[in-house]
Amino acid sequence: MSDETSAGVHFPADDQGRRSTTTTTKGVLADAVRGVDPALAERIDGSRAWRKDYVDLVHAVTGASADSADAASRIAADGLSSMRRRMVLADEAGHETSLAEAELTMPTGAAPFGTESVRGTGEPVTELRVPLDGRELAGDELRGQLGAWVDAGVVEPSFATAVGEVIDHPEWLALPGHRALLVGAGAEMGPLETLLSWGADVLAIDLPRSRAWRYKKGVATRGAGTLTFPVDESGDSGADVVHQPGQVLEWIRRVRGEVPLAVGMHAYADSGVHVRVSAAMDLLMSELTDDDAGTALAWLATPTDAFVVPPEVVAAARERWARRGVGVKGMQAPARVLGRGALFAPAYRDAREDRPGIADVLVPQQGPNYAIAKRLQRWRGVAAEGAGQRVSFNVAPATWTRSVTKNPVLGAAYGGAHHFGVEVFAPETVRPLMAALLVRDLVCSPPQRAHPEELFSDAAAHGGLWRAGYEPKTALGVAAVAGLPGSVRRRLAR
């Protein structure tokens, strides 16, 4: 059975049996904004070059959400509702039901997953430690580095404050009062290894790939926590939330225990599968929340998206633009003229004084499926927090992950990003920092927000992309040229 006809979460099929990602993702984005900006919805519906147009259209939808708290909440609710109406759940017989009407149950004849656990043999790490440039920072040295990142505009001050709270409270590291459920547990940016080193109790879901699971079990053995995961009839570890959502839900319900879950969505997939896994996770999160209102939800936000940012971020970027040296201005002026303003454009050109701006860091090379998948996750975060649920949704900095280095354009752009005030982090540095934000979000009282989009701007570590003087996409090509030699060296070294 092919993936197009297999059981699980799918894009809907048309009359010829084709499953168009464009029709669905474009429709979901239009439906999301239709209730607050009908004219923008018509623009999205009328797009004839979706792969080219989506960048400006997602930016515009973000702008519409900035208008008011009610608009942001309405867009999130309507976008999720559209996704549920459009995406479908297919059973083993090929019958399809919209996700809005589907019930996640064990398929007829399917065997339930078994369960295995690995208990760590190591001593728990009892302080926040962050590797950086061959050293391991902790305590006052780590605080000093946080301050240096704030001064450089690489992270928001609220990020340094939040991480500082975790430095002050090492008892939070083992995740008291919660049990972590990590979907896409092997993600390079995920908190699996860090949480296990701190002594946390972790349930893990990831695809059944034997080599990857051998690594995860080794991590658990060396750690101080407990790793629990599903196994199928043949003894293979892992599960697939896209093709086995009913079996996965049954397993989670059976093993979750009495302690509230913190459900982390860290799964990534290429192309339209990323939308499908995001939709499947949305179903699972809704079911688990219905089971226990104390269930917390967690994601990491990519910095390469469009975000509503506070006026002080806009002001900082404009100040950097104004502080460019005479030589830099002289060199860039002809390029701006020749490029008709498409090169070295100032950031936040359209932002009004004392109003939030839109940090537009969407990267066209990542494609519309990636953008809509991340948007579905953000909408669920906004909707969940609006309903009083505990949510952790933090922006992580640009990082040298495998998905970046395998994309030659993005890898080269990251390599030259430092010329524009952007810092690209190593994964081993990011993982404990973002895990620290997660435990802080789960332990501390949820904040009161004036606007739902503050869920993403609070404690953001954007690597400098938000506070750069240039609109990122107008410097991307130049950064790629500057970073090309290093990118070639990195690819040859792999």
pTM: 0.92
Q: What is the mean pLDDT of the chain?
A: 90
Task: Return the minimum-mean-pLDDT range out of 90-94, 331-335, 426-430, 458-462.
Answer: 331-335
Write out the two tokens for 349. 């050109």
What single-letter DSSP state applies at residue 127?
A: S
Distance CA 407, CA 120 (A): 36
Residue 14 to residues 1, 21, 382, Cα–Cα distance (Å): 19, 11, 31
| Residue 119, helix vs strand vs coil | strand
Write out the two tokens for 467. 């506070």
Domain boundaries, the chain: 1-93, 303-368+395-494
pLDDT per residue as tens digits for the range 55-91: 999 999 999 999 999 999 999 999 999 999 999 999 9
Residue 275's φ and ψ, nearest 5 degrees, are -65, -40
| 83-88: Cβ within 8 A, 24+ apart | 83/28, 83/279, 83/282, 83/376, 84/282, 86/11, 86/12, 86/24, 86/27, 86/28, 87/9, 87/10, 87/11, 87/12, 87/24, 87/275, 87/276, 87/279, 88/9, 88/10, 88/11, 88/12
| Residue 359, helix vs strand vs coil | strand
Residues 6+ apart with CB under 8 A from 348: 314, 317, 318, 357, 358, 359, 471
Residue 133 pairs with which residues in a beta bridge? none
Q: How many CB atoms lie within 10 A of CB 51?
A: 12
Task: Please work out, in degrees rounded to the nearest 5, the angle formed at the alpha carbon of residue 426 by the alpha carbons of 319 and 213.
Answer: 145
pLDDT per residue as tens digits for the range 88-128: 999 988 899 999 999 999 998 899 999 999 999 999 999 99
Residue 228's φ and ψ, nearest 5 degrees, are -120, 135
Task: Please work out, in degrees rounded to the nearest 5, the angle formed at the alpha carbon of residue 381 by the alpha carbons of 378 and 387.
Answer: 145
| Residue 299, helix vs strand vs coil | strand
Q: Per-residue pLDDT for 286 more than 60?
A: yes
Mean pLDDT of 252-258: 96
pLDDT-based confidence at residue 345 (cuts at 50, 70, 90): confident
Task: Please work out, in degrees rounded to the nearest 5, the angle formed at the alpha carbon of residue 395 by the alpha carbons of 393 and 397.
Answer: 150
pLDDT per residue as tens digits for the range 183-195: 999 999 999 999 9
Strands 261-265 and 296-301: parallel
Distance CA 359, CA 156 (A): 14
Instruction: Tell me if 412 sits within 8 A of 481, measured CB to CB.
Output: yes
Distance CA 373, CA 266 (A): 12
Residue 25 to residues 8, 86, 368, 385, 392, Cα–Cα distance (Å): 18, 9, 8, 24, 25
Mean pLDDT of 10-37: 95
Selection from 245, 165, 61, 216 nearest residue 438 by Cα? 165
Strands 179-183 and 130-132: unpaired
Residues 6+ apart with CB under 8 A from 342: 474
Distance CA 262, CA 279 (A): 18
